[in-house]
Structure 1
């Protein structure tokens, strides 16, 4: 391309991990469905807009996109779709209120009438755009949109196990079941069975590669320290052909670092400062130590200039890293920047614009952009490695999900899983004694569904990080109660009551409709 820079060696990959816990029917504000709708509006809609725009220009292999089964289920769920439509309409109403305000309504200068009116007008136009996009593209769910992006090779899809369990601590039978069912769920939704996964929390325990190979998983993500910081090539794990790819922290932290990451720039929209009357966020960061009541009004032109600067900085960082790592290993290197999808738009409002500009700028700067599958196909694979027990959490070990602070949840999970498996095993054995193959067992299916929701890695993470910890404990114990209640009725022979209980819980927790307890691996 005319004007393009001299190509640099190697390959660069964006990996985005899209995950939220199951939130439908479980609270609204401040934690619950609002979290889903905020992320959907601020991150998922803009990300799809960026990817579709670039795909329409015949750009391919843009990002490797992990979408967990629990997020995919919510983006397809009729209740969630209706709730999202209502949320967008309400957002437009709140923006309209801001655009016509006459009185100060918040803690900062950004909530002064004139500043808020300007902000509200822009916000109302954005809400109009998202409402139109949602009504034309999303009303039948997220799966058709993502399938189209996969079909045109704009993205590579990464899958994962049902309900995002912390796999190293999970009973082996339930671990295998959750992974196989999760891959099958993606296949049904997207007509593509993922060849790779984003392991929940990038968590690994020795031997898991054998489980991955048996399930047809060829590659997965770990954090950089799991590969001792040497992430320049994917590495086959142990004696398997399953390849671990590591997040390059030097490049990833350039964007998302609590101390120096781009989203903390003074020009960007402040995530934490609300206008009290409208619930909008009309302020800019202003300064790292500036209190909310002193935050300046958001200025989109100032923010756009900051985006351009951070695009240039990131592209230079990637170029330098590829050149340096290629020289170090004596062959073209692979650099991976990996983030939560929700960073782009939800936590960092300007993130989608930055991402679009970076995906245009990297090729112009001589950097080849591709997916994890591209890396495998093109031989960016080194010598086998033995991975340590690890995660991408604090300390890069398991402490967030297994430490003293969440020891009660670890015990709860073990107890609930034992109860569920023993109950389901007996039910399946009883059905088999009557002659195989038997019909679907709705009660057993719901027991496993509630069990998987109990062991979601989100609950101990939220407790360890003191982020809505009470909600997290409530959710873990709620699903544990559901599991026990249904299992107790079934185990004691109260079959009709067990069925009624399963039906009642299924009205709230009816995700993963194809989940089939008959596919649970044998004891």
Structure 2
């Protein structure tokens, strides 16, 4: 019998990167996540669920913006041609990379068959796994807004939560009870806003519980209940570090696939141009292995798929042995200790290519290893009372609090959010005079939510595609103010402009401007 339980919690999210231009960088982000993470994850969960010897359990957050991409008809139509272009490029891989290229081509073809079998509709598969008890589906804030930086307008936080809950129920058929807070970020009083939105549990980083008042008697190894009636779980570092750390964890092993070396950099301009790829960028075609942490990219060795798969199975066994030992020690001091291991879903497959194999092996080996797998919801359904504590403000970002999203690179956007949110709240509180004005105000709400995405602040701080991030923020704020000014002046925006905005930013069809009303 297991001495305790392990709760794996994944966060599947992409910003709203829908683009009207096929072959764009934003489209690549989505399709690479489909190819390497979301489709392999579903395949692993479904196969494990069919094996009666296994009891796979996973809490999975699906962000509303990701859901909007998964149901977009134009993106569904473009995915198969996108795969075909990559198959063509793989045929031009150098001779010494043919083994890796052949294995990757096989995966691309398998993904294509899987995609066609479900007609590109993944949501029923997620729903089915939840009905089977394999998945506990969580929501997120509507556009992954960093909630502590929106708190000056509680209405802005509430709108992020209400639209997330509403969209989750519309697309997945059931109201969510749990939420993955963006960046696991918490501020005092957020629990009441969560409860008001019908949300009952969330995950924080360790110090969110360890610095709670009073200090939880079981530390991070049991959930607590906040004064607002929301349960909070905490990340356990020992259960997460071996998996996510590229320097000291499993993904950094020399046998695994190298993330940064890609055919998008290695092939000729002519070869890329023939497939309609006009600029050099990662294409998801990686044929080298890590080799060594200090090895320069141009000296990476060819990837050997069989060796990497065997290593993933061994690492899953090693990970489970460590968790069994950890739980056995904790069981000496408490009943039913719980290890919570939250990760970005894209770690498994996209960043760590062998991650899905590791997960499949973890499900397969867990019963023999004496480690129970549970979802967060299962834990809360057990009898017993939770300790009443006030969680501490925190995040799982660098530094543990809010610095990564509020620094010299991105702080300029915070007053812009505040000014726009205040204007939205004021306009809604004064009311609108016609159905047409309500329609315009609803579109303004969509633009405001999209401008609040924490992804763009993250990119500004990381210094990667900063021009894209700034352009996205400016675009949505500009659209917001143009719509709000049209309402204030009682004029109709240019029809061609408004139609284009509605087509491009068509998410959240049930959005209600009253979500921003003061209470």
Same structural fold, with TM-score higher than 0.5 when normalized by the shorter chain: yes
Question: Structure 1 439/145 Cα, relative in aligned 2: closer, same or farther at 3 Å?
Answer: farther
Shift of 1:42: 0.6
Q: How does 1:169-180 map to 2 (within 5 A)?
A: 169-170=149-150, 171-180=153-162
What are the superposed Cα offsets for residues 96-124 of structure 1, whole Å, 9 maximum, x if unpaired? 333xxxxxxxxxxxxxx322222222222
Q: What pairs up with 1:169-318 in 2 under 5 angstroms?
A: 169-170=149-150, 171-228=153-210, 230-237=219-226, 239-275=227-263, 276-277=266-267, 279=283, 280-318=285-323
Cα pair distance change 1:490/1:504, threshold 3 Å: farther
Mapped contact 1:143–1:190 kept (Cα < 8 A): yes
Judge conservation of contact 1:273–1:281 (CA < 8 Å) in 2.
yes
Determine the structure 1 residue equivalent to 2:81.
86
Count of residues paired in the alignment:
492
Answer yes or no: is the 8 Å Cα contact 2:288–2:302 preserved in 1: yes
Matched, 1:406 2:387: no
**TM-score, length-normalised on structure 2?**
0.90
Aligned equivalents of 2:197 and 2:495: distance in 1? 31
Relative to structure 1, the CA distance from residue 380 to residue 131 in structure 2 (aligned partners, 3 Å threshold; closer, same or farther) is farther
Where 1:405 maps in the other structure, the secondary structure is coil
Correspondence for 1:77: 72
Q: Secondary structure at the match of 1:339?
A: strand
**Pair 1:165-2:145 in alignment:** yes
Tell whether the 8 Å contact from 1:177 to 1:521 is kept in structure 2 after alignment. no
Paired with 2:71 and 2:91, the residues of 1 have a C-alpha distance of 29
C-alpha change, 1:29 and 1:403, in structure 2 (3 Å) is farther
SS at match of 1:507: helix
Whole-angstrom CA distance in 2 between matches of 1:379 and 1:471: 49
Give the CA deviation at 1:214.
Answer: 1.4
Query: When the two structures are superposed, what TM-score results if normalisation uses the length of structure 1?
Result: 0.89
Q: CA deviation at 1:221?
A: 0.8
Task: Render the CA deviation track for 1:36-78: whole Å, top value 9, x for unaligned.
Answer: 1111111001001001111222555510011011101101111
Aligned-partner Cα distance in 1 for 2:82–2:328: 46
For residue 277 of structure 2, what is the aligned residue in structure 1?
none
2:90 corresponding residue in structure 1: 95
Aligned to 1:358: 362
Q: Following the alignment from structure 1 to structure 2, what is the Cα–Cα distance between the partners of residues 129 and 510?
A: 32
Which structure 1 residue ranges, 5 or more long, are not aligned?
1-6, 99-112, 432-437
Cα deviation for residue 297 of structure 1 reads: 0.4
Tell me the residue number matched to 2:326: 321
- Aligned CA-pair RMSD: 2.0
Give the match's secondary structure for 2:60: strand
Q: Determine if contact 1:197/1:219 at 8 Å carries over to the other structure.
A: yes
**In 2, distance between residues paired with 1:380 and 1:50?**
33
The answer to whether the 8 A contact 1:46-1:352 is kept is yes
Gaps of 5+ in 2: 212-218, 273-282
Find out whether 1:472 has 2:469 as its counterpart.
Answer: yes
Distance 1:225 1:467, change over 3 A: farther
Partner residue of 1:419?
Answer: 423
Deviations 1:124-183 (A, max 9, x none): 2211111111011142x3221211111222100011221111112222112112211211
1:519 Cα shift? 4.2
Structure 2 residue aligned with 1:102: none
Cα gap change, 1:70/1:489 in structure 2, threshold over 3 Å: closer, same or farther? same
Q: Deviations for 1:284-337, whole angstroms, at most 9, x for unmatched residues?
A: 000001011111100012212221221121001111121222324x22201011
Pick from 94, 101, 116: which aligns with 1:120? Answer: 101
Aligned to 1:101: none
Report what 2:14 is aligned to: 20
Kindly report which structure 2 residues correspond to 1:426-437, keeping only aligned pairs within 5 A, or say none.
426=430, 428-431=431-434
Does residue 1:337 correspond to 2:341, yes or no?
Answer: yes
**Residues 241, 249 of structure 2: 8 Å contact kept:** yes
